[in-house]
Structure 1
Amino acid sequence: MDKKYVIGIDYGSDSCRGVIVDPMSGKELASHVFYYPRWKQGLYCNPAKAQFRQHPLDYVEGLKTVIKETVKVVGPEVAQNIVGLSVDTTGSTPCAVNKEGTPLALLPEFSENPHAMFILWKDHTATKEASEINHYAKTWGGIDYTQYIGSVYSSEWFWAKILKTLREDQAVKEAAYSWVEHCDWIPALLTGVKDADQIKRSRCAAGHKAMWHQAYNGLPSEAFFAGIDPLLAGLRGRLFEDTYTADEVAGVIAPEWAEALGLPQDVKVGCGAFDCHMGAVGGNIRPNALVKVMGTSTCDILIENMDVMKDTLVEGICGQVDGSVIRGMLGMEAGQSAFGDVYAWYKRLLAWPLQTVEPEKREEIESKLLVELEKAANEVNPLESGVMAIDWMNGRRTPYANQNLKGAILGIHLGTEAPHIYRALIEATAYGARAIVERFRACGVAINEVIAIGGVAKKSALNMQIVANVLGMPINVCESEQAVALGASIFASVVGGIYGNVEEAQRHMASPTEKVYLPQPEMVEVYNKLYEKYLEVGTFIEGSM
């Protein structure tokens, strides 16, 4: 019998990554990374206004490129035995679509309209709308529809972004039949769905970002949405009631896509999910193990047996959803709105004078900045430097989402140097990670170990050691360079019929641990004291805004 193979596609904030995997051994046979060309140019974005939009053509081009390039590496013998393909994306990243399910930005009249594009997870233009949703949910006299999403609705999520767009753009409002998450659109595109009503919606996306829950038999009521703003009236009926876990089949690849990508015509395409949830599976998530997906932001994922959690509601997180990670388990999400983005911001700040330098020379210098900063920051004594930072440069996701908050750096003086500040920024993101752990523990959720995946986890030893010291727990860094795409391939192996469930597939395919960072007792004590100062300063900043 011919061996079977699977594809995992991971859409991140800056790029699309793809892997072809042998599901019996878990070996990654080929991988490719595609950087979004329009996004790289900064098109359709305005960081000063926290506006971050992505053109669907970046996604389509990425899909074609990563699959074609990986297929080219493995050759036709492997390619013709690919049986499953699954996709994860960032989220909440919704887009307005017409009745045919086509993103409006793919229509000529909307091709350059940012409101017709996918609204990236870190777009915070809808803070006012999120506040209105939160206020109405607590005061309207009916069900509090935020109870399963940490009791706080965020501007990073589905409904806030939709309402903001409907208020700002009449043309998009009139043309939009429905709205879809990025993770729902790609499987629909690959399987040839031509009707927005037929798009299968992710349990993960709907539960964590759109207030879908089994207790409501679907989405919140029409009366709830119409009460927030009449602009939302009627939209609920053009969305969805049913949702699908990521181990379910979205459909079979459409013939035109099979031909274009060099794949068999019977490849099964899985229902989508968010990157952090599939990544957690690639990182070998298990009960009581917190998986930190550490990239531009962090997503922190836990799973637990339903009979252990019972009726426990964890306030201040990004939701708890049955089946959002693994079917039959409660998936819990938290995270930080900026992690790697904090360091990238600091690099841009330091590199500002280089604008007058020729591009090639500038790029060479910038590429060395963080490397040299890390070397120097490793020698900094945090007690002697006196520099403290608050990591809310892009607002706060968890605990208790508040995208109006701003970051801070304090304790600087004329002797403060760049490495002092850089280390303080790393420490601040580690303190933010600890605040998440303590929020879970305060609600009785046990966290006994930490698993780290993502670019920062692989590249920054100083960062991982500081996180281990601040958390007072070992940090297990996964071996795979593409653990999130590997997670998608695990779901593809279930969708393709190779394994009967995700847990079985994990045992064969999940990434092993590459390195363990152990907490250093003397630094744990230091950081326990500094963490209290972080909380004190954060409370002051939040109270003064």
Structure 2
Amino acid sequence: MPMTHAIMFPPRTLIWITLILSYSIYIVKIEASSAATFSPITKSKTTYSTTATLLRISGGDSSNSVDRADGDGDSNTKKRKIVIGVDGGTESIRACCFDAINGNIIGKSHAVPYKTSHPKPGWAEQNPKDWYDNLGAAVKGALASIPSDNGDEHELCAICVDTTCCSVVALDSSNEPLRPCLLWMDARSAPQTKEILDRCKGDPSLLINSGGEGPISAEWLIPKSLWIKQNEPDIWDKASTICEYQDYINFKLTGKMVASSCNAAVRWHWDGEECLREVTNDDNDEERYPGRPLSMYRALGMPELVEKLPHKCLPMGSLVGGLTSEAANDLGLPEGLPVVQGGPDAFVGMIGLGCIYPGQLCLITGSSHLHCVVTAQPNTAPGTWGAYRGAPLQGTNFAEGGQSSTGSVIRWAKALFAGDDTDYKTLDAEAEKLPPGSENLIALDTFQGSRTPVTDPLARGALVGMTLSHTRGHIWRALMEAVCFGTRACVDGLVSAGHECSEIIIAGGATRSPVWLQMHADVTGKPVVLCENADAPLLGCAILASVGAGIHHNVEDAVESMVRRLRRIEPREDVAAEYEKIYENVYVKLSQMARPVMHAIAGLRGGGSNGRKLVKSDGGGHAPM
């Protein structure tokens, strides 16, 4: 029997909620009109409203299809549908409003910084409460930036949050933090990574990284959980929940503790498809906790971790729930506004770049390079991480490669050779005058070690072939080329594992250098695509929010409408041929020959390899031992 409840709210606001339970489908109808908020900047009144919203969510279908109906307001008033994207980064949390139909930015993004503490070398912590408090300020700032002088009304449709990945939180039985979070960059659990590889050798869940050869990163949730258990047993015993930034924020917004299947697949060693099955009350743990690495937890002596992690998992773009009244008040948004599942910032960025089809490679550039290629099959092999099943989206897979030092090398060179008196454009212009190969000056980009296709933390950078005729421009070009050669090696490693790449969609700092963009295309031999909106994580959240709110039927449709390509940079055939010779005959061989020298240097300063096995790619000798 349907039940209808009429609830009185403050003047000018009336919400009818109708719950209809039929089989596994439930319908929620929400109407909120004239919910007013005031801009602290313009001091003018901007009106936001959520019209009558019909949400149809199948209990057995995690796509959570959502149908929207018109509200009861003035039919002559045109309302622009808006979604809010939120990016919880390392240094700040940012919010931005987007047109839910075409992806255009409405107003401006607003960032609110938070503090990171470093109690000991290699440690990095943040206060989870700062994330939530600053989220409210960021959202209010983004809303305040919406122009209010054109008379338009705006319909807020949904909000979606991405966050840093592997920022681990321990919560008590009331879901309050027991300690500061272990931020993603916190490396205190390095000893636990070796313990995991030793104690769990041969475990199927480890096959996802380089065919079981590792590495396990100190950044990831399981090593950090093991560190807490071993070093802070009181905290561990009191912790009812171990989760991440993403899960904590969604809980604060909706009161529901759920994991993102993308995050779980990529960094928790979960099967990103299996984990979406509903948890049952079956006595068999494998059925109660599908897709979880239970054998790994048992081998590590912490089988209870499966109980502490979120029991429910949702794919990106599905509905987590509606804003609670408390969260609505804290963010200045209507109660019940749909909160849509996001995920790790970099992988939400894949969505924001439209990188969702097999053969597309997303290249996120910054201090380091991250290469994520969407692939048809969840194959894994030495020299690659993944492919991860059910990530970034349900029904897809992707594999990744990485370079530890890329943009950081360029910043180092500028500080060393140019300082503040010379800008990047001047240095690029000097490099552009020179031929490929920088007149026989070759560099290695592994200043901070190597991630893939050879995982070697002791690898270091080099400049080889220096003469007295070489100038600052030569060094600058050689370093830029070295980063591109490293990208080529990562792409080759992915291809050798069966993950073909037809184009590179790029975002981040490298997009500001036309010379470097062209160099990436020439060295890899792949077209490089630049999108109109380079702020991929925020746009990715907007895309997911629009799908979760039913504005677009699926992510594919949303990407088609909201992501626009700015230009496509093709490799130049003659230049690419020159780089091919340099890469095969010099860079690859130099990488091989330099490795034992780098290890010997590390041994001199007391940082030898300690017998650590290097992980290599099988691909055509491009990542040899």
TM-score of Structure 1 vs Structure 2, range by shorter chain: 0.7 to 0.9
Q: Which residue of 2 is the match for residue 220 of structure 1? A: 293
Aligned to 2:260: 202
Amino acid in structure 1 at the alignment position of 2:135:
L
Is 1:436 paired with 2:524? no
Q: Does 1 or 2 have the higher relative contact order (CA < 8 Å, sep 6+)?
A: 1
**Equivalent of residue 290 in structure 1, options 348, 361, 379:** 361
Quote the Cα distance in structure 1 between the aligned partners of 2:192 and 2:454.
Answer: 16
Report the CA distance between 1:415 and its aligned residue.
5.2
Percent identity between matched residues is 26
1:485 partner letter: L
Deviation of the 1:315 alpha carbon: 3.9
Distance in structure 2 (CA, Å) of the matches to 1:6 and 1:429: 37
1:370 matched to 2:434: no
CA contact (8 A) 1:79 1:262 kept: no
| Aligned equivalent of 2:143 | 71
Larger radius of gyration: 2
Flag structure 2 segments of 5+ consecutive residues without an equivalent. 1-69, 71-78, 275-285, 600-608, 610-625
Contact 1:303–1:330 under 8 Å retained in 2? yes
**1:496 shift after superposition:** 1.5
Q: Is this contact kept in 2: 1:5–1:81, CA < 8 A?
A: yes
Q: Could you tell me how far apart the structure 2 residues matched to 1:23 and 1:498 are?
A: 7
Q: What pairs up with 1:265-414 in 2 under 5 angstroms?
A: 265-285=335-355, 286-305=357-376, 309=377, 312-347=379-414, 365=420, 369-399=423-453, 401-412=455-466
Contact 1:44–1:54, Cα closer than 8 Å, also in 2: no
Check if 1:85 corresponds to 2:159.
Answer: yes
Select the residue among 107, 117, 142 that pairs with 2:181.
117
C-alpha distance 488-14 of structure 1, shift in aligned 2 (>3 A): same
Give the C-alpha shift of residue 245 in structure 1.
0.4
- Compute the displacement of 1:447 (Å): 1.2
Is the contact made by 1:80 and 1:263 (CA closer than 8 Å) also made in structure 2? no
The answer on whether the counterparts of 1:9 and 1:18 sit within 8 Å (CA) in structure 2 is yes
Instruction: Say how many residue pairs are matched.
Output: 499
* Contact 2:380 2:386 survives alignment (8 Å): no
Aligned to 1:34: 111
Q: Secondary structure at the match of 1:273?
A: coil
TM-score (norm. length: structure 1): 0.82
Distance 1:176 1:408, change over 3 A: farther
Q: Report the Cα distance in structure 2 between the residues aligned to 1:374 and 1:55, rounded to whole angstroms.
A: 41
Distance in structure 1 (CA, Å) of the matches to 2:541 and 2:188: 30
| Contact persistence 1:323–1:330 (CA under 8 A) | yes
Is 1:449 aligned to residue 503 of structure 2? yes
The residue number in structure 2 matching 1:524 is: 576
Summarize the Cα distance change of 1:37–1:348 in structure 2 as closer, same or farther, 3 Å threshold.
farther
Report the TM-score when normalising by structure 2.
0.72
User: Which secondary structure state, in structure 2, belongs to the residue aligned with residue 145 of structure 1?
Assistant: helix
Q: Higher mean Cα deviation, 57-66 or 16-25? A: 57-66
CA separation of 1:432/1:101 partners in 2, compared to 1, >3 Å: closer, same or farther?
A: farther
- Residue 498 of structure 1 aligns to a residue whose secondary structure is coil
Q: Secondary structure at the match of 1:383?
A: coil
Please say if residues 154 and 401 of structure 1, whose CA atoms lie closer than 8 Å, have aligned partners that are also in contact. Answer: no
8 Å CA contact retained: 1:276, 1:301 = no
1:537 and 2:614 correspond:
no
1:244-259 to 2 correspondence within 5 Å? 244-259=314-329
Instruction: Identify which of 495, 498, 515 aligns with 1:462.
Output: 515
Question: Do residues 421 (structure 1) and 475 (structure 2) align?
Answer: yes
Q: Secondary structure at the match of 2:259?
A: coil
Distance 1:162 1:377, change over 3 A: farther
- Post-superposition offset of 1:236: 2.7
Structure with the higher strand share, 1 or 2: 2
Using the TM superposition, name which of 340-349 and 18-27 deviates more.
340-349
Q: Which residue of 1 aligns with 2:207?
A: 147
Deviation at 1:448, TM superposition (A): 1.1
Moved more, 174-183 or 476-485: 174-183
Change (3 A) 1:188 1:450: same
Q: Deviation of residue 56 (structure 1)?
A: 3.3
Q: Distance in 2 between the 1:346 and 1:84 partners?
A: 44
Q: What does 1:95-174 correspond to in 2, within 5 Å?
A: 95-105=169-179, 116-120=180-184, 122-139=185-202, 143-150=203-210, 151=212, 152=214, 153-169=216-232, 172-173=235-236
Q: Deviations over 1:66-113 (max 9, x none)?
A: 3122201225787862111111123233233333333344xxxxxxxx
Q: Is 2:565 the counterpart of 1:513?
A: yes
Q: Distance in 2 between matches of 1:78 and 1:57?
A: 35
- CA gap of 1:406–1:243, structure 2 versus 1, over 3 A, is farther
Q: 1:389 to 1:78 in 2, by over 3 A?
A: farther
Q: Indicate the RMSD between aligned Cα atoms, in angstroms.
A: 3.0
Change over 3 Å in CA distance of 1:10–1:468 after alignment to 2: same
* CA deviation vs aligned residue, 1:364-385 (integer Å, no higher than 9, x gap): x38x543433333333445345
Q: Judge conservation of contact 1:181–1:205 (CA < 8 Å) in 2.
A: no
